[in-house]
Every structure is written in C-alpha cells, then in structure tokens.
C-alpha cells in the first residue's frame, strides 16, 4: 500500500521542525521543572494538603501541585521499588523516611506536626451511646460490634493501632486484651486509614481506629483515649516505647520491629526530585507558620518543627534559613 503526502503537509512539517530548531531545549526543561510538584503523602494528610496545595498555587500560579495519598510506607515504596517520580514525600511517621528512603532516595527529613489516635464512629454505630474511656475495649470485642483498622505493613496508623492495643492492656490491666483486639475483624483491615471512612459511612463497620485530626475533618463522633495509650504526647515517650510490633521489612520475608513513640509527621525532598526548584518553593510554603503550618493546625494537628541534628548538614540552606526565621 502506498501513501501520498501533499506538498502542503511537507510545508507544515518543515515549519514545525524549524520552530523546534529555534527553541532552546534547556529552557523547555527548565519551564517543565518549574511547572509542577509531585507530592506523595500520608492518607491522613489528604484534607490539609489539598488546602495547602490550593493556597500554594494561588501564590505561585505557574506551579501545579500533584497530590497522591496512600499509606506512608506504601508511598515510600512507590519511590524505592516502583521507581515512581516524586519530589516531596510527607509521612505520618518520620521513621518511614529513615527506614525506607534514607540513604539512597532521601538525605534528611523535617518533622512538622503531631497527632493522636482515637476511635471514630457515628450515630448508627452499635452501642455508640454507651462507649467511653473505661469500656471501649469491652464494646469492641463484643460479637455485636464490627471495627476496622489499617494495614500495619503499609500504614503507620495500622501499626500504631496495634501498639495502642498493647498499651491498653497494660493501662487497664486486662490480660490478653491486645491479642483479642488484634485478632477480631481482621477481614476489615484496609491499606490505609482513609479507606475505612466509606465503610463507616455505609454502616459496614461500627468503629474505626484513626487519627483525631481525621475524625474532626470528616465530622465524625470520636472517643479520645487516655494520653497513656493514644501515642500523642511527647512526654509519654517512655511509656509508648514499651509497645512493639513486627511488620514487613524491605526484603522478601524480612520483618522489622517498630516500637511505640509519639506521632510525628515528617516531610522530605527526594534526592532525585524531577522538579527540585519548585519542590523547594512548596516546602518553604508548607513549613511557614503563617501559611502551610497554619492550615495543618486548622485541620486539627499540633504543629512543631523538628530537625534532627544528624541531618542538618544535608538540608538545603534556604530551608534552614526559613525554619530559623519562623
């Protein structure tokens, strides 16, 4: 089969090639670098980061923020195992960055917010009118009740839930309550905490273990738990460390131990960020007390900047200056 192209088409193609020749390829790459920021983030940051991205784009109209939420460990593995392009990664546990991304994919992190675990429910949840801080574990192990939690291998909220169970057993002096809670309703485990919201809304489950900020953002009823078990108080770090959970490691069949500690969200710049300059602009906005951090705080999380000494030398100077001036 023969194909014929008219002289008009040759003229159009020639003009197109000439235009490319006149352009500066370097400038095209630079514009693309400045035109977007790819952000992988913990599912529990979906609401505040959506607001942060919107506010950032208004201040920087030439930059588009592309958000992708998942369990924090899953976010990290998208970078390390799948090779997905990413500029900024925000985790609900700083240890995810230390354990999975450093070294090789990131060189530092900055802690920026806290949180606490709670039990969320709604007006249709079985026994919701009776649950309180002294009986919640009895209600949840009842055959009449179904509760959900996230996957500890993918999501820090998942392993924090298991740590909470252990801390509760010690706090309430109830033998094997941690084991009973961990084994119940395992079919209701989901990859990340936000996956549980629809199940609660559809009345598939009665209660979910989530962060307090999420419960407030979605207008849910929730039970605040004692500071001794909610993983939200830095001064309780010693008590939290008595809880320990085994989760999947980086290699096939590998297990790692995760000890309980106060919840600290952290953010990092990926070493080979494809849009580094724009990503740094986003990080400066996020870490601003009057901008990004104000949005995080408005959405129910306590904010505080934490910069480990061992990584200070690796943090870009403009971010150090920003933090010091806040």
Instruction: Kindly tell me if the per-residue pLDDT of 13 is higher than 80.
Output: no
Mean pLDDT of 73-86: 96
Asked if 106 and 180 sit in the same domain, the reply is no
Mean pLDDT of 9-38: 46
Asked if 79 and 15 sit in the same domain, the reply is yes
Report the C-alpha gap between 307 and 318 in whole angstroms: 14
First-last CA distance in the chain:
70
The pLDDT confidence band at residue 326, using thresholds 50, 70 and 90, is: low
Of the residues 240, 259, 278, the one at which a domain ends = 259
Q: Is residue 1 assigned to a domain?
A: no
Q: Is residue 289 assigned to a domain?
A: yes
Asked if 282 and 151 sit in the same domain, the reply is no
Asked if 292 and 311 sit in the same domain, the reply is yes
The structural domain count of the chain equals 2
Residue with tokens 């976010």: 75
CB 249 within 8 A of CB 256: yes
Alpha-carbon separation of residue 14 from 10, 19, 21, 135, 270 (angstroms): 6, 9, 11, 78, 41
Asked if 82 and 101 sit in the same domain, the reply is yes
Q: Is residue 178 assigned to a domain?
A: yes
pLDDT tens figures, 152-210? 999 999 999 999 999 999 999 998 999 999 999 999 999 988 889 999 999 999 999 99
Alpha-carbon separation of residue 306 from 101, 105, 320 (angstroms): 18, 20, 11
Instruction: Kindly tell me if the per-residue pLDDT of 229 is higher than 90.
Output: yes
Is the N-terminal amide bond of 104 cis, ω within 30° of 0? no
Report the C-alpha gap between 263 and 268 in whole angstroms: 17
Asked if 205 and 182 sit in the same domain, the reply is yes
Asked if 311 and 230 sit in the same domain, the reply is no
Return the CATH number at 52: 3.40.190.10
Q: Which of 256, 290, 316, 255 is nearest to 106 (CA)?
A: 316
pTM: 0.85
Of the residues 259, 279, 309, the one at which a domain ends = 259
H helix runs in the chain, sequence order: 7-22, 25-34, 46-59, 72-80, 94-96, 136-140, 156-172, 177-183, 195-201, 212-217, 237-240, 276-286, 292-298, 317-325
Asked if 61 and 133 sit in the same domain, the reply is no
Q: Domain containing 56: what range?
A: 8-114+265-325
The pLDDT confidence band at residue 252, using thresholds 50, 70 and 90, is: confident
Cβ neighbours around 174 below 10 Å, total: 13
pLDDT tens figures, 101-156? 999 999 999 999 999 999 999 999 999 999 999 999 999 999 999 999 999 999 99
Q: Is 132 helix (H, G, I), strand (E, B) or coil?
A: coil
Q: Is residue 104 assigned to a domain?
A: yes
Asked if 15 and 45 sit in the same domain, the reply is yes
Higher pLDDT, 221 or 324: 221
Q: Is residue 3 assigned to a domain?
A: no
Question: On the CB side of 195, how many CA atoms lie within 13 Å of its CA?
Answer: 17
Task: Tell me whether strands 189-190 and 255-259 are parallel, antiparallel or unpaired.
Answer: unpaired
CA pseudo-torsion sign 313, 319, 323, 324: positive
Cβ neighbours around 288 below 10 Å, total: 16
The residues that bridge with 211 in the sheet, in sequence order, are 117
Q: Is residue 2 assigned to a domain?
A: no
Of the residues 259, 279, 299, the one at which a domain ends = 259
Q: Which three-class secondary structure string do you get for 300-322?
A: CCCEEEECCHHHHHHCCHHHHHH
E strands, the chain, where?
A: 36-42, 64-70, 88-91, 110-113, 117-121, 147-150, 189-190, 207-211, 221-224, 244-248, 255-259, 265-269, 303-306
List the structure tokens of 267: 């953010």
């Amino acid at each position: 089969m023969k194909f014929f192209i008219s002289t008009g088409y040759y003229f159009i193609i020639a003009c197109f090639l000439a235009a490319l020749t006149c352009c500066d390829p370097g400038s095209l790459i630079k514009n693309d670098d400045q035109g977007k920021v790819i952000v992988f983030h913990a599912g529990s940051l979906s609401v505040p980061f959506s607001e942060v991205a919107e506010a950032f784009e208004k201040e920087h109209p030439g930059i588009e923020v592309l958000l992708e939420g998942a369990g924090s460990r899953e976010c990290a593995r998208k970078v390390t195992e799948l090779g997905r392009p990413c500029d900024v990664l925000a985790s609900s546990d700083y240890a995810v960055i230390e354990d999975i991304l450093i070294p090789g994919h990131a060189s530092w992190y900055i802690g920026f917010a806290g949180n606490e675990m709670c039990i969320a429910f709604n007006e249709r949840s079985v026994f919701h009118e009776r649950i309180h801080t002294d009986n919640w574990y009895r209600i949840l192990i009842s055959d009449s009740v179904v509760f959900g939690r996230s996957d500890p291998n993918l999501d820090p909220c998942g392993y924090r839930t298991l740590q909470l169970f252990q801390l509760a057993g010690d706090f309430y002096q109830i033998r094997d309550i941690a084991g009973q809670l961990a084994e119940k309703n395992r079919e209701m485990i989901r990859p990340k905490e936000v996956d549980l919201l629809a199940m609660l809304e559809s009345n598939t489950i009665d209660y979910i273990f989530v962060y307090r900020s999420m419960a407030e953002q979605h207008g849910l009823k929730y039970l605040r738990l004692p500071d001794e078990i909610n993983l939200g108080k830095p001064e309780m770090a010693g008590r939290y460390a008595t809880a320990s959970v085994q989760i999947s490691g980086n290699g096939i069949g590998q297990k790692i131990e995760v000890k309980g500690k106060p919840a600290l969200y952290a953010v990092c710049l990926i070493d080979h960020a494809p849009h580094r300059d724009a990503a740094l602009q986003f990080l400066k906005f996020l870490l601003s007390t009057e901008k990004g951090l104000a949005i995080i705080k408005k959405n129910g999380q306590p904010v505080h900047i934490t910069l480990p000494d061992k990584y200070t030398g690796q943090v870009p100077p403009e971010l150090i200056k920003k933090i010091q001036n806040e």
